[in-house]
Amino acid sequence: MNQIIPPPHEGTPAHEPPTDHTVRPTTLPAKRSNGRLILGIVVLLALAGALGFGFWQHYRVHAEVIATADQRRDFVPSVRTDTIHASEEFRSATWPGTTEAFAQANLYARASGYISKRTVDIGDRVKSGDLLVEIAAPEIEHQIAQAEGTLTQLRANLQQAEANRDLAQVTWDRDKRLVQQGWTTAQQGDTDRLTLQARVAAVAVASANIIAQEAQLRVLNQQKVYLSVVAPFDGVITQRNIDVGSLVQADAASGTFLFQLLPLAALYLISPSLAVVVPAAVIARFLAALLLGYGTFRAIGITGISKPEWPLIRELFNYGRWLLLFSGASMIATTLDRVVIGSMLGAKYVAYYATPQNLVTRMNLLPSAMLRTLFPRFSASASDHADELSHQALAFLNCAFTPCVVVALFALAPFLNIWLGHEMAVQSAPVGRILVIGVWLAGQSSIIGVLIQAKANPAQVARVGWIGLPIFALVLWLSIRSYGLLGAGVAVVAKAFFDYAAFLYFSKLKPRPILRNMAGHLVFLVIATVCADSMDSLSGMAAIALALLAGNLAWSFCESSELREVAARVRQRLLPSAG
């Protein structure tokens, strides 16, 4: 009989292990490959959906932009219209304004005397050559008469010298043959020959005296011409400082300021535009230069111009190019601070900065006058004497200039408050005080720079200016970015310190006494700045200013032996018995 074996129950272990190994390899790889395929399809669908969504969003935004542009292009605004009728009421507004010209001429007196006649006043239009003022100076007429009498006397002396020369010539011609023949001694011949030479020289001296006297007479006649002040070009009188009977002085630097004449004829007659006014101003300056040159030629008596000396010209240009470079660097540095302030803070802050800057730069009058005086002295002096003179000049400048700066530090804010109002004073006074210290330092460094230029080393001064320019620009930018308007003032003072140190190094001066003197005066200025910034009472500020002035004067006496000597001489003159 056949025997049927039932299948094993679940959970019963299989009797043939190979059965499991033959089934698993044929089923698991198919499942894994299907899962990877499904995952890839899902990723591709998601990527395609994202791309499609992004494209749809971009297209929707583009369509909206196009639709908005079309709407703006085709938009027809609806406005309300009405008929304009003339108003029965008139409204007038008056605003303050100032009319300024692009060029002006300040007329000074070229001859001293009293005003005897005035033909114009403020607002009058004048033509070139019109008489403005007549000056009465009778002493010039007397000087001319005296010079003419002296000239007549010199011409008579010339005739006398020529007669003596002719007599000596005849005597020598006669005695020369006698000396050769032995009829007259050699001593007598030498006497006659040398007498002739002396007479010839006397004729030359008399001729030279006549030439000099004629030149002096031409100068006096030119002074007589200057008694009539005429208009140099067409224009309008905008300022008058004299009247009939006023005493005027003849000096271009400190003389009497008569009128202010502006070349506005082109503006009134042709067109009030820059295209007309600027060329008219240039032409007026050119004509004024020609007239000045013509007057100079006549006054000095120049009759011809010799050929140029090219080696000397090259030497002068070689010296002048460094001065030109230094001037260019100074001009850029002078305007760079306002440019950076305008670009970083705005035009309003330029006004806050430029107003005190224009005020404090007027304090350069004393240092500028000293520079004009010291440069020829430095150039003509030996090196040791020029160094000693520079020490004395710096000591004098500190003694005379520091009290002025102390007064300016205290007076700046009240002056701005009275002049331009409280807001301008609050904004401008702090940076103005810092700029005052910068002007004080620049005055001292300019004296040392002039000393270097006078020693025929202008290249060093120019290099300092151009090397310090980018440093100044960087410091200026960083300071304004960090501290605002005050930072600009700090940068200017830092540049002044840099120039002072560099010039002092290149000048080879003894730095210790100069720095000690400068540091002492600087302490007074710093104290004055702090007190002026923190005080509001005018009486308190005046008391502190007087105390600082007394202390500064005492410091100057301690540091400057020259000042002590001057004080001793003044004391001896005032109190002879004490001396």
The answer, yes or no, to whether residue 385 has pLDDT greater than 70, is yes
Return the domain boundaries, the chain: 101-126+232-302, 138-226, 319-574
Of 438, 557, 445, nearest to 486 (Cα)? Answer: 438
| Sign, CA torsion 107/108/111/112 | positive
**Higher confidence at residue 456 or residue 262?**
456
**Higher confidence at residue 327 or residue 496?**
496
**Model pLDDT for residues 525-535, shown as the tens digit of each residue:** 888 888 888 88
Q: What is the mean pLDDT of residues 138-166?
A: 85
- Grouping H, G, I as helix, E, B as strand and the rest as coil, residue 261 is strand
Maximum CA extent, the chain: 205
Question: Are 365 and 372 spatial neighbours (Cβ–Cβ below 8 Å)?
Answer: no
Find where tokens 């395609």 sit.
48
Q: Please give the structure tokens belonging to residue 304.
A: 């011809």
Question: Are 280 and 266 spatial neighbours (Cβ–Cβ below 8 Å)?
Answer: yes
Q: What is the mean pLDDT of residues 446-457?
A: 81
pLDDT band at 5 (very low <50, low <70, confident <90, very high): very low
Percentage above 90 pLDDT, the chain: 1
337: part of which helix (H) or strand (E)? Answer: helix 310-344
pLDDT band at 12 (very low <50, low <70, confident <90, very high): very low
- Grouping H, G, I as helix, E, B as strand and the rest as coil, residue 134 is strand
Question: In Å, what is the CA distance from 309 to each residue of 71, 296, 297?
Answer: 79, 21, 20
pLDDT band at 28 (very low <50, low <70, confident <90, very high): very low
pLDDT band at 44 (very low <50, low <70, confident <90, very high): low
| C-alpha R_g of the chain | 46
Instruction: Give the model's pLDDT for residue 4.
Output: 42
Instruction: Give the model's pLDDT for residue 579.
Output: 46
**Model pLDDT for residues 290-308, shown as the tens digit of each residue:** 887 877 777 777 777 777 7
Q: Is 535 left (phi over 0), alpha (psi -120 to 50) or beta?
A: beta
Alpha carbons 488 and 287: distance in angstroms, whole number: 41
Q: What is the mean pLDDT of residues 88-95?
A: 69
Q: Please give the structure tokens belonging to residue 121.
A: 């006043």
3-state secondary structure 147-177: HHHHHHHHHHHHHHHHHHHHHHHHHHHHHHH
Query: CATH number for the 138-226 domain, one of 1.10.405, 2.60.40, 1.10.287, 3.40.50?
Result: 1.10.287
**Model pLDDT for residues 340-382, shown as the tens digit of each residue:** 888 888 888 888 888 888 888 888 888 888 887 887 777 777 7
Instruction: Give the model's pLDDT for residue 225.
Output: 81
CATH code of 101-126+232-302, in short, is 2.40.50.100
> Phi and psi for 263 in degrees, rounded to 5?
-80, 70
Question: In Å, what is the CA distance from 290 to each residue of 231, 283, 297?
Answer: 15, 11, 11
Chain centre to alpha carbon of residue 21 = 104
The answer, yes or no, to whether residue 196 has pLDDT greater than 70, is yes
Q: What angle do CA 210, 211, 214 make, to 5 degrees?
A: 85
The answer, yes or no, to whether residue 21 has pLDDT greater than 50, is no
| Identical fold, 101-126+232-302 and 138-226 | no
**Model pLDDT for residues 208-249, shown as the tens digit of each residue:** 888 888 888 888 888 788 888 888 777 888 777 777 877 777
Alpha carbons 123 and 126: distance in angstroms, whole number: 10
User: Do strands 105-108 and 125-126 pair parallel, antiparallel, or not at all (unpaired)?
Assistant: unpaired
- Grouping H, G, I as helix, E, B as strand and the rest as coil, residue 396 is helix
Alpha carbons 140 and 224: distance in angstroms, whole number: 7
Alpha carbons 25 and 8: distance in angstroms, whole number: 23
